[in-house]
Structure 1
Amino acid sequence: MTVITQLPHPLIETIAGFLAGIASTLVAHPLDVLKTRLQVDRASPSQAGTSLRLVKDIVQNEGIAKGLYRGLSPNMAGNSISWALYFLWYSRIKAGLQAYYGSGNGLSYYDFLLASGVAGAMTAVCTNPIWVIKTRMLSTASRHPGAYRSISHGTRQIYRAEGVRGFYRGLIPSLFGVSHGALQFMAYEQFKRCRTSQHEGGGRKLSTIDYLWLSGVSKVFAGSVTYPYQVVRSRLQMHEAEQTYKGARDAIAQTWKQEGFGGFYKGLGPNLVRVLPSTWITFLVYEKTKEFMPRLLD
């Protein structure tokens, strides 16, 4: 009889990513609703105070739970599955690169950029259908005509009205958005390497505070560069997008013409508020789960 003495590394990465996705979604979902509604709003200009007015409107007309937590199920499914797949593939690609170079050679920031970029692209293709449903649920009130009641209802409606193609609306800007994750993980790995080396002999064990500020700085860096793609993706995935835009290029052109540069940064405020707690929770849960799980069989 074979006795398992150590959990497989890919399994640890997958479970850590899955739990990180669930934890971050539960905390940050109301801000995700707010960000999505601002991103798909083409009528009002981007200005101070818009976010607070929108929160007040949602609470008054839809309720706290039904309004601010609308679309929680597809968001949780999307985040947990995305992070599970992402960390699995990211770790496998890094391991493959390390094996190719040999154990004596460390990975460069180019390698981290490549590993995170490929893992992000694979994850985006697999999870895009979930994000389409999530965007449409978050961008509309439950009483809105044609609003989806659940993931299964949204899946049936999209398939009947748009076919398989409907599940992949917004995929192109999502693939462009892979650059966000690539930049974030490249920065995170480099910051993490520098921090661990700041100890006699290297190998410094990172603390909770270390994980918080390392993940936060890397997220702000990546987010400040790549935010406009999220606006374009949300507009291509919203209800009646086919009647509004001919494609990603048309969405960019219309946004620029009607709203100017500020249109590409609508929802940036709540997004910045949202991404830092979400990022802190994601990376902290991920790193701590990786530390804890190998001890289960000790």
Structure 2
Amino acid sequence: MADTFGQVVLGAGLTVLSHPLMYIKVLIQVGHEPLPPTLGRNLFGRQVQQLPGLFAYAKHIIKIDGRSGLYNGLGPRLCAGAIGTVVHSNVLQVGLKTLLGGQQKPAEGSLEHVVNETTKEMIARSCASIITHPFHVITLRCMVQFIGRETKYSGVFSSIVTVYREEGVWGFFAGLIPRLLADVLSLWICNLLAHAFNTYAIDDSMSHTGEIKNCSQAVTGFFASMLTYPFLLVSHLMAVNNCGLAGGLPPYASVYPTWVDCWRHLSREGNMGRGNSLFFRKLPAGKTYAFDQKRFF
């Protein structure tokens, strides 16, 4: 219990610190570009038109809503983090011990061991994601309200009532499937690639083997998150799509019947990586952009 409480407190601290970054990322993902592009240079020194990055975007939000405006949606996100941590911990410590306790444990570092541990983690993460997704949906909608200056999503309880009244139970699970796919695929890609690297590229007789393995886990995790980013993008768009907010309706966004339709639309436009970078944001060629809270894609 003490360990879980410590994880909740640590997670809450990290959530507060990272919230402005996620807030800006979500606004960019849904297509909100309130600032005009500027002339900058790419990694090769060539002049290109660039969309404003993280700090310029943050200054714009502070100018309109003050510093506290960077924390829109923090309440439901903290609820999601705390509940998710408890569910994740309990599933790992109780449920899976009962499910897999009678099996013989494979050797540490073997492929079977990696598969078993990844399966346990996948189940725990999936359970946590499913249970906390309603708070995730409310978090995203609280953020997207910035675009149309709406106030229909404010407190956690009132937001729950709003979603249920307008969309029923299924409204709480908008965008869940691509989110689960992003979590599951990222986890398996990361762990299997790290196992392959640690098995075939690292000799146990090498010095600093532990540090190298930890580094490989971080690198493969970053690579996996890049590969699965389109699923996360689609999940966020579907969570706010056609929910009554300006950011989820035309002209900002098309109304998508399913997340597959959203995926196809983004793929045709070449927007599958939108919001992936918050610093070097090159203006795509052949695009017409309308700024000041108008559709830009």
TM-score normalized by structure 1?
Answer: 0.69
Matches within 5 A, 1:131-142: 131-141=136-146
Question: What is the CA deviation profile of residues 80-128 of structure 1, one whole-angstrom value per residue up to 9, with x for unaligned ones?
Answer: 2223322332344664576333357445221122112211221121111
Q: Take 2:192 and 2:86, find their aligned partners in 1: how far apart are those partners?
A: 20
From 221, 233, 236, the equivalent of 1:234 is 236
Q: Is 2:224 the counterpart of 1:222?
A: yes
Instruction: Tell me, yes or no, if the aligned pair for 2:105 and 2:113 is still in contact at 8 Å.
Output: no
Task: Give the secondary structure class of the aligned counterpart of 1:246.
Answer: coil
Counterpart for residue 41 of structure 1 = 31
Q: Take 1:93 and 1:183, find their aligned partners in 2: how far apart are those partners?
A: 21
Q: Take 2:175 and 2:258, find their aligned partners in 1: how far apart are those partners?
A: 9
Instruction: Tell me, yes or no, if the aligned pair for 1:125 and 1:171 is still in contact at 8 Å.
Output: yes
Corresponding letter in the other structure for 2:266: T
Shift of 1:13: 5.3
Structure 1 residues 233 and 155: alpha-carbon distance in aligned structure 2, compared to 1, 3 A threshold: same
Counterpart for residue 167 of structure 1 = 172
Counterpart for residue 21 of structure 2 = 31
Q: Take 1:220 and 1:48, find their aligned partners in 2: how far apart are those partners?
A: 24
Q: Kindly, what percent of the aligned residue pairs are identical?
A: 22
Q: Take 1:218 and 1:23, find their aligned partners in 2: how far apart are those partners?
A: 26
Equivalences, count: 251
Q: Is 2:85 the counterpart of 1:118?
A: no
Give the number of the structure whose residues are more often helix, by fraction: 1
Question: What is the CA deviation profile of residues 125-183 of structure 1, one whole-angstrom value per residue up to 9, with x for unaligned ones?
Answer: 11110010001012222971244112122111111111111111111112212225523
Matches within 5 A, 1:1-298: 11=1, 14-41=4-31, 48-52=50-54, 53-65=56-68, 67-92=69-94, 95=97, 99-103=101-105, 105-106=107-108, 108-141=113-146, 144-180=149-185, 182-183=187-188, 186=191, 213=215, 216-238=218-240, 240-241=242-243, 244-257=255-268, 259-260=269-270, 263-270=271-278
Relative contact order higher in (CA < 8 Å, ≥ 6 apart): 1
Structure 1, unaligned runs of 5 or more: 1-10, 273-298
Corresponding letter in the other structure for 1:238: V
Q: Take 1:251 and 1:169, find their aligned partners in 2: how far apart are those partners?
A: 13
Task: Give the secondary structure class of the aligned counterpart of 2:149.
Answer: coil
- Structure 1 residues 155-164 or 19-28, which shifts more? 19-28
Structure 2, unaligned runs of 5 or more: 38-48, 250-254, 281-297
Instruction: Tell me, yes or no, if the aligned pair for 1:136 and 1:148 is still in contact at 8 Å.
Output: yes
Structure 1 residues 105 and 198: alpha-carbon distance in aligned structure 2, compared to 1, 3 A threshold: closer
Question: What is the CA deviation profile of residues 240-266 of structure 1, one whole-angstrom value per residue up to 9, with x for unaligned ones?
Answer: 258611110111122223x31xx1211
Structure 1 residue runs of 4+, over 6 Å off? 42-47, 197-200, 209-212
- Structure 1 residues 47-56 or 158-167, which shifts more? 47-56
Structure 1 residues 28 and 169: alpha-carbon distance in aligned structure 2, compared to 1, 3 A threshold: same
TM-score normalized by structure 2?
Answer: 0.69
Task: Give the secondary structure class of the aligned counterpart of 1:108.
Answer: helix
Q: Take 1:104 and 1:223, find their aligned partners in 2: how far apart are those partners?
A: 28
Instruction: Tell me, yes or no, if the aligned pair for 1:17 and 1:85 is still in contact at 8 Å.
Output: no
RMSD (Å), alpha carbons = 3.8
- Structure 1 residues 121-130 or 214-223, which shifts more? 214-223
Structure 1 residues 68 and 213: alpha-carbon distance in aligned structure 2, compared to 1, 3 A threshold: farther
Question: What is the CA deviation profile of residues 49-70 of structure 1, one whole-angstrom value per residue up to 9, with x for unaligned ones?
Answer: 33344323212212222x2111
